[in-house]
Chains A and B, each alone.
Chain A
Amino acid sequence: MSAFFTTILFIPIYNMLMYLVAVVPGHQVALAIIALTIIIRIILLPSSLKASKSTIEMQKIQPLLNAVKVKFKGDQMKQSQEMQRLFKEHKVSPYGSCLPLIVQMIVLIVFYRVILIGFNSGHFNLLYSFIPKPAEINLRFLGINVSKPDLWLLPILAGALQFVQTKMMPQPPQSKGANDPMAMMNKQMIYFFPLITIFIARALPSGLAIYWVITSAVMILQQWYINNQFKLGFWGKFPAVPISELPEYTIDTASTSAGTELHPEHEKIIEADEKKIRAKGVEITVRKRK
């Protein structure tokens, strides 16, 4: 198993890094890491742009999704069928895919191993025959040794950039309330997460902190671009939507399953259902009552 991962992940990434070390000016490992990080981000760019776009589109129909969650609380299957229908109706699709997340995680681990063992000529036997052997390997970069932990500059930079990046990711308009525990959690994590990053980065070789810094910087640029596309401003703020302009949601009466757990809001929604029966089904209003 371990040999398998070494062949398909470790050795290719090691070769890429060493190739870059051989061609960058001054044979600076730090520059090679920066270049490799940018290459990885470019490979992941199409999928990550699409995922951010679909997240914002999804957040726009969040009130409808919340209504579905309330109405079919306790019936996962029904919930997801109803959501799939909403996605189709509003022409959005969850574009997030789990594979790129795992790929990024694995790349980080492989990077770690490469940086730990990679920088001496003793491992040149791992190089493919067509990769030039670097004439020199320069570990120093701006007074920092990339194979040793850097205690201040890079970890703090990594934490700060990560903070900016998470802060820029738009929040759905309806989850700002203090009554949503997950939204509260998210808010705390925006501050707590960068601190974890700082502590982890202090313990790892600074080459990894460089990877982290560049990844966050590229993701900030990406998010900036996306936020501009949706006219949300640099910090990705949704404009406050007047209650009267929140969308309405249609649902089939037949789809209310027996045994669905009652939710505090459930009554109100059913009530709204009954008032607005239409030819094809029922329309519920997802507006919060004053």
Chain B
Amino acid sequence: MIKKILIKIIEFYQKTLSPDHGWFSSRYPGGYCKYHPDCSEYCKQAIEKKGAAKGIALGAWRVLRCNPWSAGGIDEVK
């Protein structure tokens, strides 16, 4: 239940404000986020695969890594 709500929230964000999927995505032809999958997609997948609590923790850790001092690159949910 919580899992479904969280995923809906992320999907809503992706359809609206997300620079990678949303209204402004055409501005970023190479994607905004330096990681693949981008942070919101990563959070979504993490919550789907690992459940709400662990998924949120993994997602939060990914967003923290997605800072100006990190290199980015391909980083899937394991």
Contacts and interface: CB of A to CB of B under 8 A. Distances in A.
Interface of A: 46-47, 50, 55, 58-59, 61-62, 65-66, 76, 80-81, 83-84, 86-87, 92-102, 169-172, 174-175, 180, 182-183, 185-186, 189, 193
* Most chain A beta-carbon neighbours within 10 Å: one of B28, B30, B32, B67: B30
A86 to B, nearest CB: 8
10 contacts: A80-B37, A80-B74, A83-B36, A94-B32, A95-B68, A96-B32, A100-B68, A101-B19, A186-B23, A186-B24
Nearest to B66: A98
B33 interface: yes
A195 to B, nearest CB: 13
Nearest to B28: A55
Nearest to B30: A58
A97 B30 contact: no
Nearest to A46: B68
B5 interface: no
Contact of A94 (B23, B34, B63, B64): B34
A102 B23 contact: no
Contacts of B24: 186, 189
A226 to B, nearest CB: 13
Nearest to B41: A76
B67 A189 contact: no
B26 A93 contact: no
A58 B74 contact: no
Interface of B: 19, 23-34, 36-39, 63-64, 66-68, 70, 72-74
A96 B34 contact: yes
Given A50-B68, A84-B74, A96 B28 contact: yes
A175 B26 contact: yes
Given A185-B26, A186-B24, A186-B26, A98 B31 contact: no
Q: Which 6 A-B pairs have the closest CB atoms?
A: A47-B68, A62-B29, A80-B36, A96-B32, A58-B30, A183-B26
A185 B23 contact: yes
A169 B27 contact: yes
Contacts of A55: 27-28, 32
B68 A84 contact: no
Contacts of A86: 30
A47 B24 CA distance: 19
A101 B18 CA distance: 10
Given A99-B63, A172-B29, 9 more contacts: A59-B27, A76-B36, A80-B74, A93-B34, A95-B68, A96-B34, A100-B67, A169-B27, A186-B24
A217 B28 CA distance: 22
A58 B66 contact: no
A58 B68 contact: no
Contact of A97 (B23, B25, B29, B66): B66
Contact of A81 (B28, B29, B34, B74): B74
Contact of B33 (A66, A84, A97, A193): A97
A102 B67 contact: no
A157 B29 CA distance: 31
A92 B30 contact: yes
B43 to A, nearest CB: 10
A227 to B, nearest CB: 14
Contact of B27 (A84, A92, A171): A171
